[in-house]
């Protein structure tokens, strides 16, 4: 029972921990690791099984993940988002599922827009000479927006109110 409970807690925290790593990585390097996105996607079936997600719900989560992957690939092909952002969106969509995907999309857009406004304002007011390499890079006008931060923040909000977390907490 203790091992099972530890396993459940580990799975419960896996998605939020990966979101933190993705947001930090995008902030620091403007990249999101393929391995991190793969870990998010690979851990989902284990969490679904452990938390007792019904097979029909599991299939719906997989369908949402696939749909977001296709949409993300299209946006990446149009050079509207980065490849890491597209993969993080798709992997996160597995955990979010159909019940939260609309809220997730809206929050990603809102948080991303707010982040872009803050960065554009900071770039017009501050010179990129803070002494902190990641901040200096973000203050350069040629640098894009680390959308992984917005994706991670939206993931936290939607996951915290989602059915997967609710099922996990009920299991404990």
Return the pLDDT at 172.
65
Q: How many Cα atoms sit within 13 Å of 131 on the Cβ side?
A: 0
Which is nearest to 153 in space by CA: 97, 115, 125? 115
Domains of the chain by residue range: 2-171
Q: Is the pLDDT of residue 54 over 70?
A: yes
Q: Is the pLDDT of residue 150 over 90?
A: yes
Burial of 102-126, coded b for 16+ CB within 10 Å and e otherwise, reads eebbebbeebbeebeeebeeebeee
Query: pLDDT-derived band of residue 165, with 50, 70 and 90 as boundaries?
Result: confident
pTM: 0.89
Residue predicted with more confidence, 169 or 26? 26
């Amino acid at each position: 029972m203790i091992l099972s409970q530890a396993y459940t807690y580990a799975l419960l925290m896996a998605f939020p921990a990966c979101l933190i790593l993705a947001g930090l990585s995008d902030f620091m390097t403007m990249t999101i690791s393929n391995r991190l996105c793969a870990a998010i996607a690979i851990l989902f079936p284990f969490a679904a099984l452990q938390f007792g997600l019904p097979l029909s719900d599991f299939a719906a989560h997989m369908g949402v993940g696939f749909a977001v992957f296709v949409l993300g690939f299209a946006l990446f092909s149009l050079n509207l988002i980065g490849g890491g952002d597209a993969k993080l969106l798709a992997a996160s969509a597995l955990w979010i599922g159909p019940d939260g995907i609309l809220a997730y999309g809206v929050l990603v857009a809102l948080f991303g827009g707010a982040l872009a406004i803050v960065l554009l304002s900071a770039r017009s007011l501050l010179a990129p000479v803070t002494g902190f390499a990641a901040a200096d890079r973000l203050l350069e006008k040629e640098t894009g927006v680390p959308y992984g931060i917005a994706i991670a923040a939206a993931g936290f909000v939607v996951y915290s109110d989602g059915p997967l977390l609710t099922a996990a907490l009920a299991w404990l």
